[in-house]
Structure 1
Amino acid sequence: MQPPSIQMLTICGISELPDQRERSVTHVLSILDPDHPDPEAFEAYDPHHRTILRFHDIINPTQGMILPEPEHVEAVLRFGDEVAAGRAGTVEGHLLVHCHMGVSRSTAAMLTLLAQTHPEESEDRLFERLVEIRSQAWPNSRMIEFADDLLSRNGRLVDSLRRHYGRQIQRIPRYEQLMRDLGRSREVEMAA
């Protein structure tokens, strides 16, 4: 069941953060590249509970870059626990998850939070919910693999991710070449 304290879910990229300022954001999960400065947009937000994670949006080891690791996904789950426990002290809330573009790391984090919050829900339905929140979602496969394991989904999240990639390539054909250009060919090939 959705925690009663959260009424709205949003995923966006850094360039969209100023647009969210007026939407009464109460909880923020920021996923940034390690060397990226903290977005100035948050200075204009009302007080909110915020967690910042720093790693690159990659799925293979790359010299000088930080891969998503299990501890990053564990931190996403801890954030989810904090939101569910109402530690930020809000009655109603708006949860915002962002990364640089609002396409990969943030959508993987939101899918993880949805799976944590709705353990009884089918994996395909979780991905449907994700697309309702952010239609261009292309979750980072490495993060989803860790979430699948940590949430004891026994490979079902990864299987559903394959179907999701296939649907996204049909809906947004340019994603196939874009992901290949970004070194994410394995994800394209996962598509069912």
Structure 2
Amino acid sequence: MHRPSIQMLTVCGISELPDQRERSVTHVLSILDPDHPDPEVFEAYDPHHRTILRFHDIILPIPGMILPARTDVEAILRFGDEVGEGRADRAEGHLLVHCHMGVSRSTAAMLTLMAQSNPGEGEDALFERLVEIRPQAWPNSRMVDFADGLLSRDGRLTEALRRHYGRQIRRRPDYVRIMHDLGRGREVEMAA
């Protein structure tokens, strides 16, 4: 995913996918719960390259649920490599990353892809760009931790995530209750 080839970056939830089909999407990263059916809306999209990953939006083990794993973040990075390799085939592109709500898994994946394609960009700047793309972004901390290590960011991405959570809580104080209700209180504590 190099800037000359990918001109548009979008993060959304499943309910917003129909709104994106007229926007010349060239690449899609779908992150779905393991038992969720594949959204049929992609049949109406123009031809595009699509990768599907399946795991739950959790940060700690929960019986019967699948945690995001290092291998999932490795798959996101492989997707980023594929997007970058195909850049010579087109003048521009539109990358769409979605999960169920477009808040956590998809924003963690988009952050990972942006950090991969812009290795010299500062971590706080990456989070600022992420918020421009998706203002409600609350990236899954487990995924960001894996990305931090895989991209050799030496903890800087995770530290920037802490600051990001703090800014998001100041903007949206209701995130404290929401994240606690979702079993993600550890992420709220990270912001303190």
- What TM-score do you get using the length of structure 2 for normalisation? 0.97
Q: Please say if residues 24 and 94 of structure 1, whose CA atoms lie closer than 8 Å, have aligned partners that are also in contact.
A: yes
Deviation string for 1:55-101 (max 9, x for gaps)?
00000001010000000000000000000111794331100000000
What is the correspondence of 1:84-103 to structure 2 with a 5 Å cutoff? Answer: 84-86=84-86, 89-103=89-103
Counterpart secondary structure, 2:21: helix
Could you tell me which runs of 5 or more consecutive residues in structure 1 were left unpaired when the two chains were aligned: none
Deviation string for 1:79-131 (max 9, x for gaps)?
00000111794331100000000000000000000100110011000000000
1:24 counterpart residue number? 24
2:157 counterpart residue number? 157
2:135 counterpart residue number? 135
What is the correspondence of 1:5-20 to structure 2 with a 5 Å cutoff? Answer: 5-20=5-20
Counterpart secondary structure, 1:65: coil
1:191 counterpart residue number? 191
Counterpart secondary structure, 2:98: strand
Identity, % of aligned positions: 80
Q: Please say if residues 26 and 90 of structure 1, whose CA atoms lie closer than 8 Å, have aligned partners that are also in contact.
A: no
Q: CA deviation at 1:5?
A: 1.5
Q: CA deviation at 1:191?
A: 0.4
2:64 counterpart residue number? 64
Corresponding residue pairs, total: 192
Could you tell me which runs of 5 or more consecutive residues in structure 2 were left unpaired when the two chains were aligned: none
Moved more, 173-182 or 86-95: 86-95
Q: Is residue 41 from structure 1 mapped to residue 15 from structure 2 by the alignment?
A: no
Q: Please say if residues 5 and 87 of structure 2, whose CA atoms lie closer than 8 Å, have aligned partners that are also in contact.
A: no
Deviation string for 1:136-187 (max 9, x for gaps)?
0000000000000000000000000000000000001100100000000000
| In 2: Cα distance, 1:71 partner to 1:148 partner | 14
| In 2: Cα distance, 1:103 partner to 1:46 partner | 25
Q: Please say if residues 48 and 88 of structure 1, whose CA atoms lie closer than 8 Å, have aligned partners that are also in contact.
A: no
Q: CA deviation at 1:4?
A: 1.7
Query: Structure 1 stretches (4+) deviating beyond 4 angstroms?
Result: none
Equivalent residue letter for 1:83? V
Counterpart secondary structure, 2:22: helix
| In 1: Cα distance, 2:185 partner to 2:141 partner | 11
Q: Please give the root-mean-square deviation of Cα atoms over the aligned residues, in Å.
A: 1.3
Counterpart secondary structure, 2:161: helix
